[in-house]
């Protein structure tokens, strides 16, 4: 197992420390900052599929072994399944994770009033597992509740938890996961860690927002990892705010600080942001949400970049109050 490879916690699922998520490329609209600049001019299904193929081919060539999709990412599952078939990738060669809970409602419209609708129920799980299996079949290794919150009640829903475990026992997938979202994520993780069905632990993997602007889950994730949970870091670039392309006036001083720290390290702002996340041993996989092969190449060149304690401290000092971070994210426009 090379330095850039590991397993997802206690699961035997082999992964690379850098993974690729398709949230920004599986559908025409999303919240990341520079889409007008970085996506194909015409965001037709054919054009986004071509871009997805370029990204997946480059990811595989760079040794990326974890791929992350969701039912709500438009046609991301379909695009991934088609690429896996066209490249003749046999199940288990790459580790594929998907998510259920949100339904894509935009019908490929850029200006849809609502892009996704959430329901964390047993019925939604059963329906979407069928859809995900239809696309991904035996490639589906990890199935995650999408943005599980304590308030939703799903983490204490005995009939749902029973169904999640039953499907794992039946081989529909190999690991059960949850993704977290919002300033109350630590509470949801604590509930997930204690969830049991007939004494059997329900959850194997947690996916959480973790970056130098929102590092507040570090302790909870480290404890979960020490207890055998797989840990996947998402929104490593804070949806584009932790990149040189961030032109938000409100972030001007942030970007100045990041550029100074990156220059001192001889790297770019996005590389520094990724190196910060990878410098935490409890992170099994950091997700790249790249939408261009140039962005992906910038990310894959980071895996070996070590940060000294001074730089880590400078980056940690940039942290925002979680409430402010999530308010800012909630205001990012779909474009
Ligand atoms: N609730 C959940 O479960 C959840 C939520 C969010 C994400 N995720 C997962 O995490 C993955 C990544 O998250 P994300 O895409 O939301 O956010 P992210 O990784 O923080 O941001 C990725 C975006 O940053 C910009 N970027 C990155 N490198 C760049 C560079 N070198 N130069 C310029 N811009 C650069 C690109 O946006 P532009 O090109 O548009 O500027 C890119 O799409 C997703 O694909 C998904 O798999 C899960």
pLDDT by 10s per residue, the chain, length 335: 455 789 999 999 999 999 999 999 999 999 999 999 999 999 999 999 999 999 999 999 999 999 999 999 999 999 999 999 999 999 999 999 999 999 999 999 999 999 999 999 999 999 999 999 999 999 999 999 999 999 999 999 999 999 999 999 999 999 999 999 999 999 999 999 999 999 999 999 999 999 999 999 999 999 999 999 999 999 999 999 999 999 999 999 999 999 999 999 999 999 999 999 999 999 999 999 999 999 999 999 987 788 888 899 899 999 999 999 999 999 999 99
User: Does a structural domain hold residue 1?
Assistant: no
- Per DSSP (E only), the strands in the chain are 5-7, 14-16, 18-21, 66-68, 95-100, 102-104, 116-118, 140-145, 175-179, 196-197, 200-201, 205-209, 230-234, 285-288
User: Structural domain tally of the chain?
Assistant: 1
User: Does a structural domain hold residue 60?
Assistant: yes
User: Does a structural domain hold residue 2?
Assistant: no
30: Cβ below 6 Å to ligand 1?
A: no
pLDDT, position 224: 98
pLDDT, position 3: 52
User: Does a structural domain hold residue 28?
Assistant: yes
Q: What is the spatial distance between Cα 290 and Cα 310, in angstroms, rounded to a whole number? A: 28
325: Cβ below 6 Å to ligand 1?
A: no
Q: What is the spatial distance between Cα 12 and Cα 34, in angstroms, rounded to a whole number? A: 37
Of ligand 1's atoms, which has the minimum distance to the CA of residue 69? 47
The b-or-e profile of 98-109 (16+ CB within 10 A means b, else e) is bbbbbebebeee
Q: What is the spatial distance between Cα 152 and Cα 57, in angstroms, rounded to a whole number? A: 38
User: Does a structural domain hold residue 18?
Assistant: yes
255: Cβ below 6 Å to ligand 1?
A: no
Q: Which residues contact 324 (CB under 8 A, 6 or more apart)?
A: none
Of ligand 1's atoms, which has the minimum distance to the CA of residue 99? 3
Q: What is the spatial distance between Cα 315 and Cα 271, in angstroms, rounded to a whole number? A: 13
Longest dimension (CA), the chain: 54
Contact in structure between 141 and 97 (CB atoms under 8 Å): yes
Distance 86 CA to ligand 1 centre (A): 26
pLDDT, position 248: 97
User: Does a structural domain hold residue 248?
Assistant: yes
Q: What is the spatial distance between Cα 106 and Cα 116, in angstroms, rounded to a whole number? A: 7
Residue 73 is part of which domain span? Answer: 13-331
Q: Which residues pair with 286 in a beta bridge?
A: 18, 233
Tokens of 185: 């994520």
pLDDT, position 233: 98
pLDDT, position 304: 72
Nearest to 174 by CA among 11, 15, 14, 20: 11
User: Does a structural domain hold residue 3?
Assistant: no
Contact in structure between 175 and 198 (CB atoms under 8 Å): no
Tokens of 312: 């880590």
38: Cβ below 6 Å to ligand 1?
A: yes
pLDDT, position 1: 42
Of ligand 1's atoms, which has the minimum distance to the CA of residue 70? 47
Contact in structure between 34 and 14 (CB atoms under 8 Å): no
We report the CATH number of the domain holding residue 83 as 3.20.20.100
């Amino acid at each position: 197992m090379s330095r850039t490879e590991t397993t997802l916690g206690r699961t035997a699922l082999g992964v690379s420390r850098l993974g690729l998520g398709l949230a920004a490329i599986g559908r025409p609209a999303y919240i990341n900052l520079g889409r007008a600049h970085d996506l194909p001019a015409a965001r037709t299904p054919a054009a986004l599929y071509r871009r997805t193929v370029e990204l997946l081919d480059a990811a595989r060539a760079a040794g990326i072994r974890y791929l992350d999709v969701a039912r709500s990412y438009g046609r991301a599952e379909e695009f991934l399944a088609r690429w896996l078939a066209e490249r003749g990738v046999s199940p288990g060669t790459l580790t594929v994770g998907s998510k259920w809970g949100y339904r894509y409602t935009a019908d490929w419209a850029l200006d849809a009033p609502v892009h996704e609708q959430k329901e964390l129920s047993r019925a939604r799980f059963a329906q979407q597992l069928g859809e995900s299996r239809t696309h991904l079949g035996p490639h589906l290794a990890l199935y995650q509740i999408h943005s599980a919150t304590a308030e939703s009640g799903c983490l204490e829903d005995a009939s749902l938890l029973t169904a999640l475990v039953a499907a794992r026992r039946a081989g529909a997938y190999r690991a059960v996961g949850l993704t977290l979202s919002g300033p109350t994520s630590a509470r949801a993780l604590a509930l997930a860690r204690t969830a049991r069905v007939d004494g059997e632990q329900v959850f194997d993997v947690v996916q959480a927002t973790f970056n130098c602007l929102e590092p507040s889950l570090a302790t909870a994730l480290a404890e979960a990892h020490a207890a055998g949970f797989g840990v996947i870091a998402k929104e490593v670039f804070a949806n584009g705010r932790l990149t040189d392309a961030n032109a938000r006036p409100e972030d001007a001083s942030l970007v100045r600080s990041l550029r100074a720290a990156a220059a001192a390290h001889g790297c770019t702002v996005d590389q520094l942001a990724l190196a910060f996340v990878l410098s935490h041993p409890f992170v099994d996989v950091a997700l790249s949400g790249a939408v261009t092969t140039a962005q992906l190449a910038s990310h894959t060149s980071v895996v070996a970049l070590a940060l000294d304690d001074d730089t880590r401290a400078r980056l940690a000092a940039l942290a925002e109050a979680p409430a402010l971070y999530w308010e800012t994210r909630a205001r990012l426009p779909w474009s």
